[in-house]
Amino acid sequence: MVSIIICCRTQIISNDLSDNIKKTVGCEYELIVIDNSENTYSIFEAYNLGIDKSTGDYLCFIHDDILIHTIGWGNTIEGVFKNDNQVGLIGVAGAKLKTKMPSPWWNCPEDQKVICIIQHHADKKEEKMISGFDNDALVEVVVIDGIFMAMRKDEHVLFDTTLKGFHNYDLNISFEYKKRGYKVVVTNQVIIEHYSTGNINAQWVKSTYKIHKKYKNSLPLKNESSTIKKGTEIANAINFIEESVKFKKFNIAYLIWWKLFCLYPNIKYHIKFWRNVLNRKRC
């Protein structure tokens, strides 16, 4: 059985979503909705509460603003887990590498992304995003996106409640399954339509710094066929520093800049960094 767990921003999920799950899942399931309408829980806490309540062998965490197009997707997920005992985590978007420098999962070369989503953007445009599969229905990655996460239940793998808020839970659980020696994969056999986009803000900066600090000894991560180039690490460091400065998280910006300086002292960005910091502080 599949336990479907949703952290809901309202008291109950929409009828459209509950009907959609019922019509598409195709296997025995239970629906566990964590009412977070009063912002009682971090997403890490809410998802662990869902795990505590679950009775299925497999767990599926989904957002409350999606619809699933694939008929029988629950059977598909169960089949993947049963066919390969090493698979611990399944998503519909992810990356074959994760840099040591703080970044969202999608900040990597295009050929390292694996994705199968119908995404609605802020301008209301809809985009069918499918890439990275070639002729394979499953592709091994190192991190997945949190929009849809199916997991093999393992009593040793939980979300880390020392991490707060609503960001980076997907990196957290991806890293935990990798630490346990499981495969993390992305499938194109489950089509998700997502009606909102994520946002980067001050909370995201704090969360991203904290999770990369927590897993510093495990990073970087990559597939055997992947290479993490110097330029990717530098680009991710610079991007994160700029976001930190933008949201006035100067202490975090300094710490990542110092790390970048120690690794790559000769890049031209260092002068730009200090000029940017001084200009921001005057504002």
Copy the structure tokens of residue 73: 């997707």
CB-CB contact of 250 with 227 (8 Å):
no
Residue 234 lies in a domain: no
Residue 258 lies in a domain: no
Residue 85 lies in a domain: yes
Residue 145 lies in a domain: yes
Angle at 206 between CA 201 and CA 110, to 5 degrees: 65
Per-residue pLDDT at 282: 61
Domain count, the chain: 1
Residue 272 lies in a domain: no
Look up the CATH number of the domain holding residue 29: 3.90.550.10
E strands present in the chain: 2-8, 29-35, 58-62, 66-68, 87-91, 93-95, 97-98, 113-120, 126-131, 138-141, 143-144, 148-152, 183-187, 192-194, 221-222
Task: pLDDT tens for the chain, 283 residues: list them.
Answer: 999 999 998 889 999 999 999 999 999 999 999 999 999 999 999 999 999 999 999 999 999 999 999 999 999 999 999 999 999 999 999 999 999 999 999 999 999 999 999 999 877 788 999 999 988 999 999 999 999 999 999 999 999 999 999 999 999 999 999 999 999 999 999 999 999 887 899 999 999 999 999 999 999 999 998 999 999 999 999 999 999 999 999 999 999 999 999 999 999 999 889 887 777 666 5
Per-residue pLDDT at 135: 87
Per-residue pLDDT at 212: 97
Per-residue pLDDT at 281: 62
φ/ψ of 140, rounded to 5, equals: -75, 135
Per-residue pLDDT at 197: 82
Per-residue pLDDT at 164: 93
State the amino acid at position 252 in one-letter form. Answer: I
Per-residue pLDDT at 122: 79
Residue 283 lies in a domain: no
pLDDT in tens, 28-43: 999 999 999 999 999 9
Cα–Cα distance, 81 to 66 (Å, whole number): 23
| Average pLDDT along the chain | 94
Per-residue pLDDT at 62: 96
Domain extent, residue 77, equals 2-198
Cα–Cα distance, 28 to 77 (Å, whole number): 12
Per-residue pLDDT at 283: 56
